[in-house]
Amino acid sequence: MDFIVADTYEDMSRKAADVIAGCLATEPDCVLGLATGSTPIGLYADLVQDCAEGRISFADATTFNLDEYRGLDPQHDQSYRYFMQQNLFDHVDVDVARTHVPDGANPDAEAACAAYEEAIAQAGGIDLQLLGLGHNGHIGFNEPCDHFPVDTHVVELTESTIQANSRLFDSVDEVPREAYTMGIGTIMRARRILVVASGEDKAQIVRDAFFGPVTPEVPASVLQLHPDVTVIVDAKAGALCA
Ligand code: GLP
């Protein structure tokens, strides 16, 4: 594992954007796994700028997002599809037909999950998977539990995740209670993994996830077992790992 402590959020974002830009430059038809949340917003802005200035192109790339709320229409302004359009897809030269987000509006959960796994396999698997880190160590929406769920599945969100994500909704009652997420196996099958975390509120979980025991109670800790992981945190999130 490469553990990099950047000075600031901007520095973390640039360094992480460089990893993705490097992947696009060396393998233009790469398959990228993408994440939502506040943390990647800065690195997406950097990639938009890189693309506008002609340094990178998404024209031949394929993308798969980690997760999506269940029951939210893609047009809902808190859906992860909407987030991706706003923060990246609408501003780069990606072919939207090759961007994939689990279909939150599909009432047939089993079919939606199986179709997502199949689409990833058909694309040849994920070359580089970007991940943020939940305060409880969740990756995607894989919440702490007693085992590592393998494939894309439906999860019930924990109260702490509902509370954390309610800041983005008008009220906590509007936060969906369920979500689709890639499984831990889906994530671990990616050939390379890039994790970003920022802010002092992530310092404890960064230490637990990357320097503590590997346990499904801290889902991100499983990444310690992956052969090619780069973790980039800002100084505040890395404060307990000196
Ligand atoms: C959400 C997402 C995760 C994300 C996490 C952290 O629950 N499902 O994929 O990594 O929150 O988000 P943030 O970067 O806003 O702290």
Query: Is the CB of residue 157 less than 8 Å from the CB of residue 191?
Result: no
Both tokens of 97, joined, read 């037909």
Instruction: State percent of the chain over pLDDT 70.
Output: 100
**Pocket-forming residues, ligand 1, beta carbon under 6 Å:** 35-39, 66-67, 132-134, 140-141, 161, 165
pLDDT band for position 121 (50/70/90)? very high
Task: Enumerate the H helices of 88-235 as residue ranges.
Answer: 109-122, 159-165, 184-188, 203-211
* Radius of gyration in angstroms for the set of CA atoms belonging to the chain, rounded to a whole number: 17
pLDDT per residue as tens digits for the range 134-145? 999 999 999 999
Q: What was the pLDDT predicted at 106?
A: 86
Judge residue 166's burial from the number of C-beta atoms within 10 Å of its C-beta, 0-12 exposed, 13-18 middle, 19 or more buried.
middle
Q: Using 50, 70 and 90 to split pLDDT, how confident is the model at 242?
A: confident
Convert the pLDDT of each residue in 191-228 to its tens digit: 999 999 999 999 999 999 999 999 999 999 999 999 99
Q: Are 146 and 136 in contact (CB under 8 A)?
A: no
* Chain length of the chain: 242
pLDDT tens digits along 71-94: 998 999 999 999 999 999 999 999
Per-residue pLDDT at 105 exceeds 90: no
Q: How many angstroms is it from 64 CA to the middle of ligand 1? A: 16
- pLDDT, the chain, mean: 96
Expressed in angstroms and rounded, the spacing between residue 7 Cα and the centre of ligand 1 is 21
Could you say which DSSP state residue 218 is in?
B
CA-to-CA distance for 68 and 100, rounded, in angstroms?
A: 11
Token pair, residue 190, equals: 């990616």
pLDDT tens across 42-66, in order? 999 999 999 999 999 999 999 999 9
pTM of the model: 0.96
Pocket test for ligand 1, best of 13, 65, 138 (most atoms within 8 A of CB): 138
- What is the residue type of 74? P
Contact 95, 59 (CB under 8 A): yes
Asked if 137 contacts 209 with a C-beta cutoff of 8 angstroms, the reply is yes
Question: DSSP assignment, residue 64?
Answer: E
| Residue 29 identity (one-letter amino acid) | D
Measured from the Cα of 131, ligand 1's closest atom is: 10
Q: What H or E segment, with its residue span, contains residue 114?
A: helix 109-122
Indicate if 142 belongs to the active site: no
